[in-house]
Amino acid sequence: MERILVAMSGGVDSAVAALLLKRAGAEIEGAYMKNWINEDNVLGECPWQQDIVDARAAAEKLGIPFRVVNLMREYRERVVEYLLDGYRRGITPNPDTMCNREIKFGVFLDYARREGFSAVATGHYAIRREVTPGRWGVFEGADPNKDQSYFLALLRPEQVAAARFPVGHLLKPELRVLAREAGLPVADKKDSQGICFIGNVRMQDFLRHYVPDNPGPIVRATDGTVLGAHRGLHLFTIGQRRGIGIPSNTDHENYVVVGRDTVHNRLLVAFESEAAPGLWARECLVAGLSFLDEPLNGAQRLLVRARYRDPAAPARFEPSAQIPGQASVVFEKPQRALAPGQVIALYAGDGSGRLLGGGFYEHISPLVPTPAAATR
């Protein structure tokens, strides 16, 4: 009988994951990963205490042992510092993806193995399937509105082998029905945002607590006109429309961030309708490539998710012959608001939904001018 440690966050998804594994006859225990408790008093609420109460209540209803695993030091070192370092360097990090690789299927999996478990289960909406004897693949979840395979793009083969995703075949409404029928106390609990300081604390407030302000001008990219001042480039993302701090035009069209000039500390903006460089791109350099199975060798056509919730887009993938872990990606259609540091997820080109791997945008080659007819 397989012995599995279920990462129970206090939400309904992981509780149903435990429910399904128990029904399947696995020997399971529940564990809450104590990662972040807002110990630095950043503005906002991080409800970790209530989450532990809810996770323990679900475990008691299921009749399974429950424990709390303190991973705060590792989380701060591997996720929070990665996040802050990225923003300090002017790139856009993805803490959710890094948390999966470094924490849930990293140090938490290592802990589980030391405790005698062979696998770790989570409430991710993704499907793990044996593709050939002894080799496992990850596929998109059945619910297109909840699919979380994108956030698993940086997992390694040994992590996939030890991962379990029991709810990936369900639609969210179906999952809630199962939870209610089983009498789980979290059946109607509202979905969380995953990482407390993103879900319940504004990212700008979090960053201002750790990264000093570095004021500079806001510049119209098309003609160099200074429109205002910003508090720091790290507080803005490419494609951002709201919260820039400058008025719209007479047609009530908002400015959009099209670039961050780190050399001159300038925030570059333009109207969406303008021929401004930086907002649209077809080609990018990807670095830090990681694959869930065998590495991709040779140029090939893939489906690529440029960011979470973006539809998979056809693109040509060509690995570098000189630099390991790098590749060029050329999209068939222009993509909006790509930013260095973001994660790009690679899927099989056959439309099967199989996740192959991922990496980080190292360099974006913007289109000039912005194509008026471009669509995401």
Closest of 364, 355, 305, 356 to residue 337, by C-alpha? 364
Nearest residue to 86 (alpha-carbon basis) of 229, 200, 237, 192: 237
Q: Is 275 exposed, middle or buried (0-12, 13-18, 19+ CB in 10 A)?
A: middle
β-bridge partners, 261: 266
Q: Among 230, 228, 225, 223, which residue's Cα sits nearest to residue 260?
A: 230
CB atoms within 10 A of CB 333: 13
284 is catalytic: no
CB 46 within 8 A of CB 196: yes
Peptide bond into 311 cis (omega under 30): no
Q: Which run of H or of E encompasses 57?
A: helix 48-62
Contact 4, 27 (CB under 8 A): yes
**Alpha carbons 130 and 4: distance in angstroms, whole number:** 18
The answer for residues whose C-beta is within 8 angstroms of residue 177's C-beta and 6 or more apart is none
One of 187, 196, 207, 344 is an active-site residue; which one?
196
Q: Tell me the residue ranges of DSSP E strands in the chain.
A: 3-7, 27-34, 66-70, 119-121, 126-132, 135-140, 163-164, 216-220, 226-230, 255-261, 266-271, 280-291, 300-305, 313-319, 327-336, 343-347, 354-366
Name residues whose C-beta falls within 8 Å of residue 337's C-beta, 6 or more positions apart in sequence: 237, 238, 239, 279
* C-alpha span between 273 and 241 (Å, rounded): 13
Q: Are 314 and 349 in contact (CB under 8 A)?
A: yes
266 touches 359 (CB < 8 A) = no
- Is 46 considered catalytic here? no
CA 371 to CA 333: how far, in whole Å? 10
Single out the catalytic residue among 8, 99, 138, 187.
Answer: 99
**Looking at the annotation, which residues are catalytic?**
99, 196
